[in-house]
Amino acid sequence: MEALVAMVIGVLTAGGVYLVLRARTFPVVLGLTLLSYAVNLFLFAMGRLVIGAPPVVAETAHAYTDPLPQALVLTAIVIGFGMTAFVIMLALKAYAELGDDHVDGERRP
């Protein structure tokens, strides 16, 4: 299972990096989204993979997974949304002001 999760993180990273390197703003935003999935999963995985042991204190529970990376990632997801929103608005603004959605704000020959 560990290898599978590592592979998933790797694929997300690769896809994110490739899209971030594109020339138009929209794919770059999509790439950032993929990258933030990868980063969140990676951070989350720092607490190792545990099945069926959520960090909710209960008398019947025999074990808990690490709650700390989860708390970290929860805020990261929300902040990630804020960042995505900001970047896409920046892209809109650039497109409206420059009439072009190239990341450098100009058409390249």
Partner 1 sequence: MLAWVVLTPFLGALLMPLAARLGRLYTAWAAAAVTSLALAALLPLAPAAFGGDTLVQRWPWLSAAGLDLALRLDGLALLFALLILAIGLLVILYARYYLSERDGLGRFYAYLLLFMGAMLGIVLSENLIQLIVFWELTSLASFLLISYWQHRSDARQGARMALTVTGMGGLALLAGVLLLGEIVGSYELTAVLAAGDTIRAHPWYAPMLVLVLLGVFTKSAQFPFHFWLPHAMAAPTPVSAYLHSATMVKAGVFLLARLFPALSGTELWSTLVGGVGLATLLVGATIALFQHDLKGLLAYSTVSHLGLIAALFGIGTPLAAVAGVFHIINHATFKAGLFMAAGIIDHECGTRDMRRINGLWRYMPYTATLAMVAAAAMAGVPLFNGFLSKEMFFAEAVSLATQMRFGWLLPLVVTVAGVFAVAYSVRFIHDVFFNGDPVDLPRTPHEPPRWMKLPVEVLVVLCLLVGIFPATTVQPVLEMAAAAVLQGPPPQFDLALWHGVSPALLMSVAALVGGLMVYAGRRPLYGLAERLGGRWSARQVYDTLVGALFGAAAALTHTIDRSSLQRMLAILFASALALGAAGVLGTPTALDGGRPQLPTDGVSLTAAAGLVAATLAAVWLHRERLTALIVTGAVGLIVSLIFVKFSAPDLALTQLAVEVVTAVLMLLALYFLPQRSPAESTRARRLRDAGLALAAGGGVAWLAYAVLTRPYTTIAGYYLDKSLPEGGGRNVVNVILVDFRGFDTLGEITVLAIAALGIYAMLERLTLAGPQRDMDGRPWNWDLHPVIMASLTRLLLPLALLTSVFIFLRGHNLPGGGFIAGLITAVALIMQYLANGAAWTQERLPPNFHPVIGWGLAIALATGLAAWAFGRPFLTSAFGHLHLPAVGEIELASAMAFDLGVYLVVVGVTLLILVHLGLMHGASHRGEVR
Residue 32 binding partner 1, by CB under 8 A: no
Residue 104 Cβ vs partner 1, minimum distance, rounded to whole Å:
6
Closest distance of CB 89 from partner 1, Å: 5
Show contacts with partner 1 in window 40-99 (CB under 8 A).
40-42, 44-58, 64-68, 70-71, 73-75, 77-86, 88-93, 95-96
- β-strand partners of 102: 24
Residue with tokens 């990341």: 103
Kindly state whether residue 18 participates in binding partner 1, applying the rule CB under 8 A: yes
Identify the CA nearest to 88 among candidates 17, 33, 21.
Answer: 33
Minimum distance between the CB of residue 107 and partner 1, rounded to whole angstroms? 9
- Residues in a beta bridge with 41: none
| Burial profile 58-71: b = 16 or more Cβ within 10 angstroms, e = fewer | eeeeeeebeeebee
